[in-house]
Amino acid sequence: MKLYLNSTNFIDTNEPIDLSIPLSNTNDNLRAWYVDAPVIEPVRNENFVGLVTEGAGVNFRNIFFNPHGHGTHTECLGHITPVIHSINQSLKTFFFTAEIITITPEVVLLVNGEIDLVVTEDLLKDKLKNQTEALIIRTLPNDSEKQHRNYSETNPPYLSINCIHLMNDFGVKHLLIDLPSVDRESDGGKLVFHHAFWQVPENPQFDKTITEFVYVEDEIKDGSYILNLQTAPFENDATPSRPVVYRVY
């Protein structure tokens, strides 16, 4: 079905582009932050086993997972505040203008001699050209292993805090990345980008979200889209999510 955005531009709801990474109970499941694989197992007690193959009328399984460490998730400022604000209460609308951009992180030598890969302000400035509510960053290289990798203790790329001003200038309220975090894996718990993005504690931005662990396939072109940010209704700082974008015609 065509949905017109104005007199000329429209999206086709029959052409969704899913940017989420599914969750499974295998060792191939994406992981970060030193967590084990998710667990999906049938309920078992003295009177019942939740498996059709073992005689039950239904499959009835428990799922144990971590939203931050096991797949695509959307988080609010409750991720870094003493009060655990809920993403389910913070995110109230679900359709946004969106820009997909592709960036090769820059090699940066830190003062302690370590080498990081960083999405810098200059890189972002070269790519971000349009005002947008949501910004989706695909980093290179973009191999399919991003959907299965264990990122723990690998020092993945992250975003420079200097990108914040540019994002604010372009109206970005919803940031989506294909990395485990917008911040460095090991930063002593500072999470400087998270704090700057949500302006915590000086001016908390409850209406802004960060979505991590998206996957943008190579054939998806950079440009303008409409984002439908679908989230599971968990009362938690973060929840599994399914970002779906639609091409603008």
Query: Is the pLDDT assigned to residue 4 strictly greater than 90?
Result: no
DSSP letter string, 200-240:
TTTS--TT-EEEES----TTSPSEEEEEEEEE---SSSEEE
Work out the average pLDDT over 104-119.
Answer: 93
Token output for 213: 């662990």
163 burial level (CB within 10 Å; 0-12, 13-18, 19+): buried
Amino acid 112: pLDDT: 87
pLDDT digits (tens, 9 = 90+) for 28-47: 999 999 999 999 999 999 99
State the pLDDT confidence band at 24, using cuts at 50, 70 and 90: very high
pLDDT digits (tens, 9 = 90+) for 126-172: 999 999 999 999 999 999 999 999 999 999 999 999 999 999 999 99
Work out the average pLDDT over 236-245.
Answer: 98
CB of 106 closer than 8 Å to CB of 117: yes
- Strand boundaries in the chain, DSSP class E: 2-4, 10-12, 17-18, 39-42, 44-45, 48-49, 61-64, 73-75, 95-103, 106-109, 115-119, 134-139, 158-159, 174-177, 209-212, 223-231, 238-247
Task: Give the phi and the psi of residue 176 in degrees, each rounded to 5.
Answer: -125, 130
CA dist 207 → 133, 138, 181 (Å): 11, 23, 19
pTM given for the model: 0.96
3 state SS of 55: coil
Provide the mean pLDDT of the chain.
Answer: 96
Amino acid 3: pLDDT: 87
Query: Is the pLDDT assigned to residue 220 strictly greater than 90?
Result: yes
Which class does domain 2-21+72-247 fall in? alpha beta
Amino acid 7: pLDDT: 86
Separation between Cα atoms, residue 238 and residue 68, nearest integer Å:
7
Amino acid 57: pLDDT: 95
Amino acid 221: pLDDT: 97
State the pLDDT confidence band at 222, using cuts at 50, 70 and 90: very high
Amino acid 48: pLDDT: 94
